[in-house]
A and B are shown apart, each in its own frame.
Chain A
Amino acid sequence: MADSSRRDALRRIALSGTVLGGAALTAKWAFDPGGFGLSQAEGERQVRDFRIHTKAPGQDNVFAIAKSSTDPAELVRRAVDAMGGMKRFVSRGDIVAVKPNIGWDRMPVHAANTNPLVVAEVVKLAFDAGAKEVIVTDASCNEANRCFQRSGIWRAAYGLGATVILPSAHRFRDMRMKGEVLDLWPVYTPLVNADKVINVPVAKHHNLAKFTAAMKNWYGILGGRRNRLHQNIDVSIADLATFMRPTLTIVDATRVLLRNGPQGGNMDDAKDMHQVIASLDQVAADAYACTLIGEHASNVKYLKLGHERGIGNMNWAELPHVEV
């Protein structure tokens, strides 16, 4: 058998050299130094700020309470008009995310979710103000299809041409909020990717936090195992309210759950109150609304935290406001 030619030898050496080089490159590219990668939260808190900074001419109200009607839609219109009208908040061509509370498989009469008539009116006002798209969505606690259908919100919003998005796993992306107790959490993208966000919570009793409305409604932007939050519910709520700064908060207090919150389930647990609060300040809105179930803001710890953090003002009576 003849020896290999020089050319052949060179070819074979070059081949093995290429393989070795390729392996070395792969090792360099995929090298893992070990450890856990992510460092703990540090630096500035993350904020998703959707607020508007223009003042309405002739008024500087922080919030408006509508209580002079029994028609939820009328109440919403009056409250929003008192704040300068929806055109102040929504510009032509905006994508507006409306975030009602669609947390539970309950009917409107149970007052565990936002009243569909209130949501519908907000959608309508946003479209009238020139919104390109109005997204209505929430990350529910109970099974989402059932919550959306049985709350009546799906039907009401869809009928007005809103985009109703049902939560599914792929709509959540991990985000670092850098809060005190909340850092890396899956966040519901439709709510943070919009141009304007309108928070439309329902005011109700909560067994652990005593009372919840606007600030607690941001639980619905989180995925993952939210049940851990209850160990420090007040700080979690404050962290979320720090992260999410909505364009406008419209608290639905047309029918308020007085006990057995947050889920209710018994018609006798809820009472008609016929009020809607439109507010620039989520803390003030909650501070006023908690008086409806006989709580005082100073007893609701997350309101105090929000006040201290400068998210808003819990002394609602001192703020410029109007009743319509």
Chain B
Amino acid sequence: MEPELNGGDFPSPIPWLGKAGKVPPLDRVATPESEAARIGEPQLIQIRKSKSPVRDKDARHGAEMRIFASANRPKSDAPTRDVTRAVNAASAPATTTNTGGPRAPTQTKKPKKKLPGSGIPARKVIRSLVWVRRAAQVGFVSLFLFFLAHTAFRGTFAASSSEPVRLPLPVEGFLLADPFVGAMTLLSTHTIYRGLAWGLVVLALTLVFGRVFCGWICPFGTLHHFFGWIFPSRYLRGTRRVESNKTHWWQAGKYYIMWGFLGAALVGSSIGGLLDPICVAVRTIGLGVIPALQYFGVRSATVIANSNVRALQSASDGAQDVLARTVWTANQSYFHQTWLIVFFLIAILFMNRFIPRFWCRALCPLGAFLGVVSRFALFGMEKDHAKCTDCNLCLVNCQGADSPQGGVKHRQDECHMCLNCENACPEDVIKFRFLPKRTSTIQKPDLERRTLVAATAAGAVCIPGMRIANWPDKAYSEKVIRPPGAVEERAFLERCIRCAECMKVCPNNALHPAFFEAGIEGLWTPILIPRSGYCEFSCVLCGQVCPTGAIQKISEKQKMGIGQKPIAMGTAMYDHGRCLPWAMATPCIVCEEFCPTSPKAIWPEEVEVPKRDSKYQKEGEQAAMLTIKVQRPHVDPSLCIGCGACEKVCPIVDKPAVYVTNAGETRSKTNVILLENTRYGQS
């Protein structure tokens, strides 16, 4: 039937690869040699990679691998002698059968729920604590996502019309409890702003239990824990996983990063928020993942809604209503230049494929901060090196890469207190307890003093360096329109941790992460982009969620200027060359209609203007000149608050005829237009 199979002798399709392209027919009887060459060889290579096969003899993954290998290999296979011996302990039946045929199911069955080696199970309290830890991680991630999804004003039927609009939940809670944010802003502002005192709770937890925050609470850490488990499932097994979970020199990197950021804070910049894990989580998920989910969700629902089947349409509408009130918001949010933010998230998540929890081990400044503090922790690990059989099961399950295995000292500063190592240890080596003996632990981060000083100095020097490039005192860019209630630019940079809470909560999608508009130091700080959305007149939510006071918690009265001067973010300017009534004799005045102040900052001047008729009345004649009435808009700079409503609604879409710049912003003492009116609001 098949000439290829019967002919046998045909030229190889890719000659330089030898017989690689040739697939032997299935019914041909395999010789032991060819079988070993085909199946045994690659696995042998894997086995030989491990440095001490005898020590590895009980490693769960290693054993599994070798059972598979030995089942397919003839008895006389000399190079695997040491391996065969290693397998003896784990699964005796594997060596007695060596047919080379298909594996019998009994051969691969491992005795379940029995640990290898001495098989001493972990203490019951540890086994249950591991499950408590998992529950806590799920719980805290859920809480974090719940808060993040509710970092949006969705209104309520229950509120009366005069009730001030506030978020009912402490949605910025995780940031408030972040002691690195607290430490940074303490260094830069010499104060601890309101809720940041919650950082003391995490600090206290760390002083008692070590870095439990990293292993049990941190939502971003849990995200990495999850991806460190999912991503490398095939790639990082056995020896490779053990190797990647050993302590590496580059884990010191996060300490230098942290000291660099603290150095920067010392000279007045909270730029460390760029890498603070809670800030990163809010920024990447809030500005990237949730809007992306919404985009795809709404697109899919639109496909359903276009089906013109009434039942499907109402189901799709209902689902979207529910999602708009729980996960995302009624209108799709878009964020300026978020590609870099999302790319960063994808990159660090993908690193989990090669090194589990790479972010936590190598980069996280909060982890480093807690690592420094954890040297004083009362809780810790004790090891009995003599009992260790070097099975490496602890390493297979280690989260922090903190050397839980025997023969080396445990690294208290790297340990996430996940308790996996004690849970996995079959030999009664690892014991977590209060006030452990410190003979076999290292508490302090393993840092070089010179590098540490250099990192701190680099951070401190960096800030003036960046400010020479983009000097904040001189209104570097007119596009830097800060949110209402933002403090003066220098103080703003002292406080802003780029957590993106304000951008997430903004109901009109008006606040965006700056790219380089605010200078290189101002990366991802909030700016108002009125073209995307305007600042809602009575809204003060950005100040409510700001954890560091970069945006102060102003009241509606302050913002709207009831009995006082309102808070201005900038001033609107007209481009007379583009404005319909000014340049094109066309009525419009939408800007005036939307201007929220009272009296309105935009006032119309009614004028009669000439307008050429758009069509010829008679053949061969010039078009007639008409006269029409239009209202030409003007700005009263003493009333304009720079909310950008006029710019948002201007019908000249691409480059609006009225636009807001930060001129005249209340927070600045230099970027002012008018001579001060001290009698504001008095007649």
- Cβ-based interface call for A312 (8 A): no
Give the total of A residues in contact with B, Cβ under 8 Å: 48
B599 to chain A, nearest CB (A): 7
Q: Which residues of B (631-652) have their CB < 8 Å from a CB of A?
A: 631, 649-651
How big is the B interface, by class? 35 or more
- Cβ-based interface call for A324 (8 A): no
Contact for A166 among B298, B330, B539, CB less than 8 A: B330
Contact A149 B156 (CB under 8 A): yes
Complexed CA–CA distance, A105 and B598 (Å): 13
- Cβ-based interface call for B627 (8 A): no
Report chain B residues within 8 Å CB of A233. 587
Report chain A residues within 8 Å CB of B98. none
Select the stretch in A21-29, A127-135, A167-175 that faces chain B: A167-175
Contact for A170 among B159, B305, B587, B651, CB less than 8 A: B305
Complexed CA–CA distance, A266 and B317 (Å): 38
A105, A152, A165, A168: which has the most chain B beta carbons within 10 Å?
A168
- Give the secondary structure class of B's interface: loop
Map CB proximity to A onto B572-600 as digits: 1 under 8 Å, 0 otherwise: 00000000100000111110111111111
- Cβ-based interface call for A307 (8 A): no
A-B contact pairs, 16 of them (CB 8 A): A1-B10, A2-B3, A143-B507, A146-B538, A146-B539, A149-B156, A155-B159, A166-B155, A170-B302, A228-B651, A231-B580, A231-B586, A231-B587, A231-B651, A265-B596, A266-B598
Which chain A residue shows the least CB distance to B584? A231
- Cβ-based interface call for A322 (8 A): no
Contact B159 A230 (CB under 8 A): no
Complexed CA–CA distance, A146 and B160 (Å): 11
Which chain B residue shows the least CB distance to A116? B161
A108 to chain B, nearest CB (A): 6
Report chain A residues within 8 Å CB of B653. 225
Report chain A residues within 8 Å CB of B592. 207
Contact A149 B651 (CB under 8 A): no
Contact for B649 among A107, A208, A227, CB less than 8 A: A227
Report chain B residues within 8 Å CB of A165. 321
Contact B589 A168 (CB under 8 A): no
Contact B331 A169 (CB under 8 A): yes
Report chain B residues within 8 Å CB of A201. none
- Cβ-based interface call for A306 (8 A): no
Contact for A149 among B165, B580, B597, B600, CB less than 8 A: B165
Complexed CA–CA distance, A263 and B595 (Å): 8
Contact A150 B330 (CB under 8 A): no
- Give the secondary structure class of A's interface: mixed
Map CB proximity to B onto A154-187 as digits: 1 under 8 Å, 0 otherwise: 1100110000111111110100000000000000
- Cβ-based interface call for A151 (8 A): yes
Report chain A residues within 8 Å CB of B596. 105, 263, 265
Complexed CA–CA distance, A1 and B5 (Å): 11
Check A263/B153 contact, CB under 8 A, given A107-B162, A170-B298.
no
Contact for A168 among B159, B163, B321, B599, CB less than 8 A: B321
- Cβ-based interface call for A260 (8 A): yes
B499 to chain A, nearest CB (A): 22
Complexed CA–CA distance, A164 and B587 (Å): 35
Report chain A residues within 8 Å CB of B537. 105, 142, 265
Which chain B residue shows the least CB distance to A148? B155
Complexed CA–CA distance, A233 and B587 (Å): 9
Complexed CA–CA distance, A105 and B597 (Å): 12
Map CB proximity to B onto A278-293 as digits: 1 under 8 Å, 0 otherwise: 0000000000000000
Contact for A169 among B157, B332, B587, CB less than 8 A: B332
B153 to chain A, nearest CB (A): 6
B578 to chain A, nearest CB (A): 14
- Cβ-based interface call for B93 (8 A): no
Which chain A residue shows the least CB distance to B600? A260
Check A170/B153 contact, CB under 8 A, given A155-B160, A231-B588.
no
Complexed CA–CA distance, A152 and B91 (Å): 74
A12 to chain B, nearest CB (A): 14
Complexed CA–CA distance, A144 and B154 (Å): 9
- Cβ-based interface call for B95 (8 A): no
Report chain A residues within 8 Å CB of B604. 207
B562 to chain A, nearest CB (A): 10
Q: Which residues of A (95-122) have their CB < 8 Å from a CB of B?
A: 105, 107-108, 116
Complexed CA–CA distance, A148 and B158 (Å): 11
Complexed CA–CA distance, A1 and B162 (Å): 90
Check A260/B649 contact, CB under 8 A, given A148-B155, A170-B316.
no
Contact A149 B587 (CB under 8 A): no
Which chain A residue shows the least CB distance to B153? A145
- Cβ-based interface call for A269 (8 A): yes
Contact for B536 among A143, A225, A228, CB less than 8 A: A143
Contact A227 B590 (CB under 8 A): yes
Complexed CA–CA distance, A257 and B598 (Å): 13
Complexed CA–CA distance, A227 and B586 (Å): 13
Complexed CA–CA distance, A107 and B320 (Å): 29
Report chain A residues within 8 Å CB of B594. 141, 263
**8 cross-chain pairs, A with B, having the tightest CB-CB distances, nearest first:** A145-B155, A265-B598, A152-B161, A168-B330, A158-B157, A266-B598, A227-B590, A149-B155
Contact B598 A150 (CB under 8 A): no
